[in-house]
A = this chain, B = another copy of it.
C-alpha cells in the first residue's frame, strides 16, 4: 500500500484538483482531519508546485476552547512559516436571527469566510478535510431520507463557486488513517475542534448507525457507501448535461391567449409542453420537472414530482378535480389543457393555515379542521403526583402559552418512547395523508417546542406545578 501522501497526490491528479502555481488556502479547524490535511499538503507542496496558506474561522461559540483552537492553528501556521487568514463570526446570533440550527449558522458563516478569501484573491482555492467517513455518513443520511442520484452523489471532490474552487483532497482517506499519520509524525491536534459541524442527524449516523452496520452487515460499509457516491456522481454529471440540453426543448414560451395563439407572459413562471414531456422516458420526465422548479428557485420533493405526474396521467379522466400541486416557497404547478404551468401560488391558497391560543385548562375550536382541541388537567392526577419520576415526561415552563396550529416545515417532535426528536414531516409520512389533510395537520406548540401532534403518541406532559396535562381532539 502506498504511503498516505502518495495516495493523496494520486487522488489530486486523478481529479485535477490542484494545478502548479496555485495558492491553496487550507481550512484548518485544529481537529485531526484538517491538521493532517495541512501536514500532507506541506509534504506535497514541492511535488505539486502549490503555495499553501492557512484559513481558520472562529465561530464565536465554545468560548475559551475556541480561542485555544485559534491559537493552536496560528501556532501551526507560524511554525511552518505560512500565511494565516483569520476571521470571527457570531454563529449563535445568526442562528437566532435566521431561525436555523447552530451547525447550519456556523457552516454558512464559514462558507462566507471561504468565499471572501477567494474573492479577495488570497488563494485560488480552499482545501477542506472531508474524509471517506464524512462521505459515507452523507450518503447514508441521503439514502435514509430517500434520495436519487443527486443526493447519493454525496460530497463532490471539487465544488466550483464564482470566485474559485473548494477542493476535498482527502475524500478517499479514512479518518483513522489520518490519526495514524499524525501520531507517526508526532503532530498534535485539538480534539473536538471540528465537532461543531455535526448536525444532530450526522452525529447519530456517525456514533450509532455506522458502527452498528459495520458490525452487523458489512465491515467495509464506509467504502461501499463511498462507491455508491462515486457511481452516482458520474451519473449525476451525465444527467446535468442531458437535462440542460432537454429542458429548453420542452419549455413553452408565453401563455395561451384567449381565442387561441399565445401572448407574451407578464407573470414569472415556466410552462412545460405536456406532450413533449410525455415523450421522454420516466426518469427524464422526473428530472425535467425538478429542473424546471429549480430554475424558479424552489425545489421539488419526490412526492411532489410523483403528484404532478399523477395529475398528467389522470388528465383524461372525467371528473378529475385536482389540477394543482403546491410546491412550497410560494410556487405551485397547475395543469392546463396542453401544458403544465409553474406559477406563483395565490395568496388565498397559502393563507388557510391557523395558529390559535389554547389555555390550560381550556379548548379551542379549529374551523379549518371542524374539530375542537382541549387541554385538560388529567383525572389520574392524584396518582400521577405520587408516581415515580418519569425521565421522558415534558414539564412546561410556567410562562408557556400553548398554541394550536398547523405544522410547518422544520417542526420537530419527540414522540412517546423515543429518545430523540423526529421531523414532523417524517412522522406524518406513514399516515398516508392526502395533500390537503397533511397541510392542515394540527400540532400544539409550547413556545418553540412541539408538545403534541395529532395521531402520534405524545410524551407525558406536566405543568410547571407537576399536574398532568392531556391534550385531546374531538369532532363535536
A220, B430: Cβ atoms closer than 8 Å: yes
Taken together as a complex, chains A and B put the C-alpha atoms of A302 and B143 apart, in Å, by: 19
Taken together as a complex, chains A and B put the C-alpha atoms of A332 and B429 apart, in Å, by: 48
Q: Which residue of B lies closest to A286 (CB)?
A: B234
B144, A231: Cβ atoms closer than 8 Å: no
Taken together as a complex, chains A and B put the C-alpha atoms of A213 and B212 apart, in Å, by: 10
In the complex, what residues of B have CB within 8 A of residue A472's CB?
A: none
B145, A282: Cβ atoms closer than 8 Å: no
In the complex, what residues of B have CB within 8 A of residue A346's CB?
A: none
| Size category, A interface | 35 or more
Taken together as a complex, chains A and B put the C-alpha atoms of A220 and B456 apart, in Å, by: 13
Give the contacting residue for A427; candidates B219, B238, B283, B430; CB below 8 A. Answer: B219
Question: Which of A215, A217, A225 has the largest number of chain B CB atoms within 10 A?
Answer: A217
Taken together as a complex, chains A and B put the C-alpha atoms of A313 and B10 apart, in Å, by: 13
A224, B286: Cβ atoms closer than 8 Å: no
B215, A144: Cβ atoms closer than 8 Å: no
In the complex, what residues of B have CB within 8 A of residue A427's CB?
A: 219-220
B204, A216: Cβ atoms closer than 8 Å: yes
Taken together as a complex, chains A and B put the C-alpha atoms of A218 and B145 apart, in Å, by: 7
Question: Which of A205, A231, A284 has the largest number of chain B CB atoms within 10 A?
Answer: A231
A20 contacts the other chain (CB 8 A): no
Question: Which of A141, A212, A420 has the largest number of chain B CB atoms within 10 A?
Answer: A212
B1, A433: Cβ atoms closer than 8 Å: yes
In the complex where A143-B225, A302-B227 touch, is A219 in contact with B422 (Cβ < 8 A)? yes
A426 contacts the other chain (CB 8 A): yes
B234, A282: Cβ atoms closer than 8 Å: yes
Interface string of A268-289 (1 = CB under 8 A from B): 0000000000000111101000
Taken together as a complex, chains A and B put the C-alpha atoms of A144 and B139 apart, in Å, by: 10
In the complex, what residues of B have CB within 8 A of residue A139's CB?
A: 143
The A135-179 residues at the B interface (CB cut-off 8 A) are 139-141, 143-149, 152, 174
A241 contacts the other chain (CB 8 A): yes
Closest Cβ–Cβ distance, residue A277 to chain B (whole Å): 14
A231, B286: Cβ atoms closer than 8 Å: yes
Taken together as a complex, chains A and B put the C-alpha atoms of A433 and B213 apart, in Å, by: 23
A282, B237: Cβ atoms closer than 8 Å: yes
A283, B227: Cβ atoms closer than 8 Å: no
In the complex, what residues of B have CB within 8 A of residue A234's CB?
A: 281-283, 286
Copies of this protein in the assembly total 2
Q: Which residue of B lies closest to A216 (CB)?
A: B204
Taken together as a complex, chains A and B put the C-alpha atoms of A187 and B362 apart, in Å, by: 44
A208, B219: Cβ atoms closer than 8 Å: no
In the complex, what residues of B have CB within 8 A of residue A366's CB?
A: none
In the complex, what residues of B have CB within 8 A of residue A224's CB?
A: 143-146
In the complex, what residues of B have CB within 8 A of residue A313's CB?
A: 14
In the complex where A143-B143, A234-B281, A302-B227 touch, is A213 in contact with B221 (Cβ < 8 A)? no
Q: Which residue of B lies closest to A425 (CB)?
A: B220
A223 contacts the other chain (CB 8 A): yes
Taken together as a complex, chains A and B put the C-alpha atoms of A394 and B149 apart, in Å, by: 44
The A187-234 residues at the B interface (CB cut-off 8 A) are 201, 204-205, 208-209, 212-213, 215-221, 223-228, 230-232, 234
The A276-323 residues at the B interface (CB cut-off 8 A) are 281-284, 286, 302, 313
A284, B238: Cβ atoms closer than 8 Å: yes
In the complex where A234-B283, A234-B286, A283-B234 touch, is A204 in contact with B225 (Cβ < 8 A)? no
A46 contacts the other chain (CB 8 A): no
Identify the A interface with B (CB < 8 A). 1, 14, 139-141, 143-149, 152, 174, 201, 204-205, 208-209, 212-213, 215-221, 223-228, 230-232, 234-235, 237-238, 241, 281-284, 286, 302, 313, 415, 418-420, 422, 426-427, 429-433
Q: Could you list 12 examples of A-B contacts with CB < 8 Å? A: A1-B433, A140-B143, A144-B213, A144-B221, A146-B225, A147-B228, A148-B235, A149-B149, A215-B418, A216-B420, A227-B302, A230-B302
